[in-house]
Structure 1
């Protein structure tokens, strides 16, 4: 399967960024499509095998046809871009909501409404996905977080955030994710995601919350995509 490559010169980041775009086999400019924006794009392509899964599920008509935009990130920039106190975080959110969405909407036949734009990420990619939706609620209407690397301080920010329009959030976390080693120390992601779930239940959010018998690794995230995609797009 061929992926379109888009090269964007970002005024917000001051860098040249590469995007990889998956189009469904039956793509036609006569129709408009929802768009899935995927953080850690290279990892979701290689370890998540997400483009292959989308092709299979489209062929079997398990989900409607959609466009997926994979956003690779250099590992050395990942923390600065994805963590809310990171040096490039606000610039990255502007890049995502302004430049990436504009580029995709101008090149492809997309649904123009926020509810037709979904963000997906794992671990810290789940954090940046959630905070992008909170920062740009009219641009992104759905978020799926796989084992989001949340903590008490980040949850407080969510608690204090306004939710001016309804948001659809899918959270999943492993039952064994109670002592995950991160650059911020050892985090109990099971507890943090349970707390996030409880906060979101008090907001204008349609929430799906799932657990799985596993830990903070790609084997579980890859397998779980098959249940996440119908929950988002079914």
Structure 2
């Protein structure tokens, strides 16, 4: 197996008043590459460990199914996760500013990644998918691609989508497990199947391209891990 590399970077955020240890995955052969596309992941360390995204991405790159790309794992203090990821959270605006103004410039300065909007995907699961969509809605010149697994969409998210004059630039991968009809969260029990169906409709009404998948699964890393290759092929698959 070709060598892949994981680096650690410290992002000291003046917006969040904390230092986050960011993990950066560099694909096999990255030393000879430049302008690589990039996937930024909320709950990133969980994606690396529980989602096995590093192993899956490396295998698909080596098999020639994916273009080489960089992955950036953003950690979160679980006690502050709802505050940073939820649209009702007090820290969410500061988290988004940290990503846009502190994290992305640091990664682009130190690693061989593209500066182009079309080469950036921001994603996550549950509230991680929610905050990824909010980031893209608020910064359309920076991000136009979102990966959302079992997105925990609230009314505030729908309202923000409907305020947009057009989302024709936006591409969203949405997946949901059919058992996610009564998911306990810090915001109460949510029917995420109904909420994802509604979000898909509103995004399409605003002109977004939505790639939507429903299948058997629940609100766990087992489901998210299993369907990750499909999302990766959408964003980073080689075009024949």
Q: Please show how residues 8-47 of structure 1 align to structure 2 within 5 Å.
A: 8-28=11-31, 30-47=33-50
CA distance in 1, matches of 2:22, 2:105: 13
Give the corresponding residue for 2:199: 196
Deviates more, 1:138-147 or 1:7-16: 7-16
Give the corresponding residue for 1:218: 221
| Structure 1 unmatched ranges of 5 or more | none
Aligned residues: 234
Alpha-carbon contact 2:168-2:209 (below 8 Å) kept: no
- Structure 1 runs (4+) deviating above 6 angstroms are none
Deviates more, 1:148-157 or 1:179-188: 148-157
> TM-score normalized by structure 2?
0.93
> TM-score normalized by structure 1?
0.96
Alpha-carbon contact 2:41-2:47 (below 8 Å) kept: yes
Provide, for residues 202-229 of structure 1, a one-character-per-residue CA deviation record: whole Å limited to 9, x for no partner: 1231210111111111101000001110
CA distance in 2, matches of 1:60, 1:123: 30
Taking a change above 3 Å as real, the CA distance of residues 164 and 170 of structure 1, as seen in their structure-2 partners, is closer
CA distance in 2, matches of 1:165, 1:211: 23
CA distance in 2, matches of 1:219, 1:102: 33
Give the corresponding residue for 1:177: 180
Taking a change above 3 Å as real, the CA distance of residues 117 and 63 of structure 1, as seen in their structure-2 partners, is same
Give the corresponding residue for 2:152: 149
Correspondent of 2:124 among 118, 121, 130: 121
| DSSP 3-state at the match of 1:201 | helix
1:130 to 2:133 alignment: yes
Taking a change above 3 Å as real, the CA distance of residues 37 and 199 of structure 1, as seen in their structure-2 partners, is same
Taking a change above 3 Å as real, the CA distance of residues 231 and 8 of structure 1, as seen in their structure-2 partners, is same
Give the corresponding residue for 2:104: 101
Taking a change above 3 Å as real, the CA distance of residues 16 and 33 of structure 1, as seen in their structure-2 partners, is same
Deviates more, 1:58-67 or 1:9-18: 9-18
Provide, for residues 138-169 of structure 1, a one-character-per-residue CA deviation record: whole Å limited to 9, x for no partner: 11121010000113443222222344660111
Provide, for residues 97-118 of structure 1, a one-character-per-residue CA deviation record: whole Å limited to 9, x for no partner: 1111100110112111111110
Correspondent of 1:207 among 206, 210, 228: 210
